[in-house]
């Protein structure tokens, strides 16, 4: 995706209006216009990186410092019970906009906004060893 077609670059350049919570020279936090829950926030780097593999370590560290700050702000000001921090990479993982971003999704006890109860099966020793060998070779 070219930068000039990227919706987050357009938001960063103020070509598309957004409800900005925080902004500095390198990062921007704004309210998601299709929120999963009240206060659903997106944090982006102003530099266009496709995903976590493209971003440099310094900016990755800095963006997560901002994610923490905004999380605390949302937690305190919106009086929520908790929140999920979500960062999707590649379409298979649900990444829709190919510009590195982090979601903060406010939660309340027993809400039905974002299910984390995904069925899981216990792996066998053999399966775990095969994966471990693939990762270490
Ligand atoms: Zn972009």
How far CA 89 is from CA of 21, 35, 55, 60, 122, in Å, comes to: 24, 19, 12, 14, 25
Confidence band of 118 (pLDDT split at 50, 70, 90): confident
Structure confidence at residue 3 (pLDDT):
67
Domain residue ranges of the chain, discontinuous segments joined by +:
3-136
Mean pLDDT of 117-121: 80
Distance of CA 52 from the midpoint of ligand 1 (Å): 13
Mean pLDDT of 82-105: 96
Distance of CA 46 from the midpoint of ligand 1 (Å): 8
Distance of CA 131 from the midpoint of ligand 1 (Å): 34
Average pLDDT of the chain to the nearest whole number: 94
- List, by residue number, the catalytic residues: 101
3-136 CATH fold: HIT family, subunit A (3.30.428)
Structure confidence at residue 132 (pLDDT):
95
Q: Give me 41's structure tokens.
A: 């926030």
pLDDT in tens, 27-75: 999 999 999 999 999 999 999 999 999 999 999 999 999 999 999 999 9
- CA 13/CA 4 separation, integer angstroms: 10
Q: Is the pLDDT of residue 1 over 60?
A: no
Distance of CA 45 from the midpoint of ligand 1 (Å): 9
Mean pLDDT of 83-99: 96
If you count them, how many residues does the chain have? 137
């Amino acid at each position: 995706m070219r930068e000039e077609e990227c919706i987050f670059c357009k938001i960063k350049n103020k070509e598309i209006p957004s409800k900005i919570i925080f902004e500095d020279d390198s990062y921007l936090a704004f309210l998601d216009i299709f929120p999963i829950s009240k206060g659903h926030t997106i944090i982006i780097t102003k530099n266009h990186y496709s995903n976590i593999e493209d971003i440099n370590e310094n900016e990755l560290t800095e963006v997560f410092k901002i994610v923490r700050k905004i999380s605390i702000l949302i937690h305190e000001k919106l009086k929520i019970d908790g929140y999920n921090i979500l960062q999707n990479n590649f379409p298979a993982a649900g990444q829709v906009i190919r510009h590195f971003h982090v979601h903060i999704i406010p939660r309340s006890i027993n809400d039905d906004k974002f299910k984390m109860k995904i069925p899981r099966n216990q792996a066998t020793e053999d399966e775990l060893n095969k994966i471990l060998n693939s990762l270490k070779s």
